[in-house]
């Protein structure tokens, strides 16, 4: 049965508040009671919107975080067909993470924390990461088609490397609570892209 407009708004409010708690504390350290208190909802309300309890709720907030993360990179993430568009993507990524209340990547942190456990929740986080990698791969394919990257470039491998470098920088950013590791990672991503360029000097 579909939710009313008010019900959808209540569910969205719970998801957003839960996402902030999980980003600060981690999935395992955030209880349903913590979320209930933060959102001023009853236990019955939580289970009305999330019948499976915490797994349902964390899956929903993972999808919300993923949509927010990918949305912050658009439209550039969908138009990575020039060096200028990659630079715009870099600026969007930097602005997004600078605006986060806590350091690090919400999706990457959840993938790391939930690896090997919470199948439903881990799958949602892994799917979000896979979607991100596919969009980056499409961008590298556009660059090859535009004659900016060499024809022998392997798009899937390059996209995987870009995401791995970025996630490593974000992990160090979370640990050091400074943005320098993120900026260094983005520099390295551009060096990696340039290494595959038809004209590296451009």
> 157 lies in a domain?
yes
> 18 lies in a domain?
no
- DSSP H helices, 40-154, are 43-49, 54-72, 83-98, 106-114, 119-145
Q: Read off the CATH number of the domain in which 91 is found.
A: 1.10.357.10
> 134 lies in a domain?
yes
> 168 lies in a domain?
yes
Handedness of CA 122, 23, 19, 98 (dihedral sign): negative
Over its length of 202 residues, how does the chain's per-residue pLDDT go in tens digits? 577 888 889 899 999 988 888 888 888 888 999 999 988 999 998 999 999 888 888 888 888 988 999 999 999 999 999 999 999 999 999 999 888 877 778 888 877 777 666 677 777 778 888 999 999 999 999 999 999 999 999 999 999 999 999 999 999 998 898 999 999 999 999 999 999 999 876 5
pLDDT tens digits for range 63-87: 898 899 999 999 999 999 999 999 9
CA distances in angstroms from 139 to 48, 115, 161, listed in the order given: 41, 28, 13
> 135 lies in a domain?
yes
> 143 lies in a domain?
yes
Say what the pLDDT of residue 114 is: 72
Tokens describing residue 131:
């979607």
Enclosing domain of residue 63: 58-195
> 184 lies in a domain?
yes
Tokens describing residue 157:
């491998």
Q: Supply the pTM of this predicted model.
A: 0.85
Q: How many domains does the chain have?
A: 1
> 38 lies in a domain?
no
């Amino acid at each position: 049965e579909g939710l009313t407009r008010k019900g959808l708004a209540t569910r969205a409010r719970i998801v957003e508040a839960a996402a902030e708690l999980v980003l600060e504390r981690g999935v395992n350290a955030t209880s349903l009671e913590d979320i209930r208190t933060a959102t001023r909802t009853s236990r019955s309300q939580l289970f009305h919107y999330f019948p499976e309890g915490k797994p349902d709720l964390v899956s929903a907030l993972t999808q919300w975080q993923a949509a927010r993360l990918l949305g912050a990179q658009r439209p550039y993430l969908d138009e990575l067909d020039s060096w200028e568009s990659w630079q715009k993507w870099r600026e969007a990524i930097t602005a997004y993470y600078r605006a986060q209340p806590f350091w690090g990547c919400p999706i990457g942190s959840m993938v790391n924390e939930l690896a090997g456990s919470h199948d439903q929740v881990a799958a949602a986080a892994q799917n979000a990461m896979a979607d991100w990698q596919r969009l980056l791969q499409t961008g590298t394919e556009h660059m090859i088609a535009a004659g900016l990257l060499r024809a022998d470039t392997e798009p899937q491998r390059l996209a995987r490397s870009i995401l791995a470098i970025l996630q490593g920088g974000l992990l160090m950013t979370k640990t050091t609570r400074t943005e320098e590791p993120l900026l260094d990672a983005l520099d390295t991503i551009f060096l990696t892209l340039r290494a595959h360029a038809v004209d590296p000097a451009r």
